[in-house]
Chains A and B, each alone.
Chain A
Amino acid sequence: DTGVSQDPRHKITKRGQNVTFRCDPISEHNRLYWYRQTLGQGPEFLTYFQNEAQLEKSRLLSDRFSAERPKGSFSTLEIQRTEQGDSAMYLCASSFQVLSYNEQFFGPGTRLTVL
């Protein structure tokens, strides 16, 4: 039984560099979500996909952020020209959207540190 996986688990980068994170959802799940969590806060929604379509993006997702889910399976989140304020835990979650409610299962996260 494989859950949601994320790679890498930790990333340290210098300000101005680009970084890319990968998320592999639970295999039968059609929805995939990205959240960001900073210290002392709950996760904040960034964007979500249903299959390969990106259906909603938060205002938190600036132009430097882009997410893709090209074949409706894994997803990538890229941050261009990183800033120190981008330092956070980036969480991916997946769900199977046939129920009237939405149980999301989270991966272990990618901890980004921008120096």
Chain B
Amino acid sequence: TQLLEQSPQFLSIQEGENLTVYCNSSSVFSSLQWYRQEPGEGPVLLVTVVTGGEVKKLKRLTFQFGDARKDSSLHITAAQPGDTGLYLCAGAGEYGNKLVFGAGTILRVKS
């Protein structure tokens, strides 16, 4: 059974601070996706990483896929209140069918 562990579970920071969210597993994934979810809404895809060691940037967000494709991180620079939400990582297995999700990291950015 593939499992993804996210840390921290909850993060409350001041506007302008930097933060990193981690997603770890003992399993290898063919790809890993990061989503952001608002209360009462579905997850919105932020990025997909496919290659071990890959780094992708989306404005102030930097995503990295581990060399062994077992872990990933999301780094946010100069967080803003609009970054507040639930961040979910999700891994796809060899055949890229179902996604296995972590439990999520709740981020609160205070102004």
Q: Which A positions have Cβ atoms within 8 angstroms of B?
A: 4, 6, 33, 35, 40-45, 48, 55-56, 58, 91, 93, 97, 99-109, 111
Contacts and interface: CB of A to CB of B under 8 A. Distances in A.
B80 to A, nearest CB: 24
Contacts of B104: 40-42
Nearest to B47: A103
Contact of A91 (B31, B42, B92, B96): B42
Interface residues of B, number: 25
A101 B50 contact: yes
Nearest to A106: B42
A56 to B, nearest CB: 6
A42 B103 contact: yes
B48 A42 contact: no
Contact of B92 (A35, A102, A106, A107): A102
B61 interface: no
B33 interface: yes
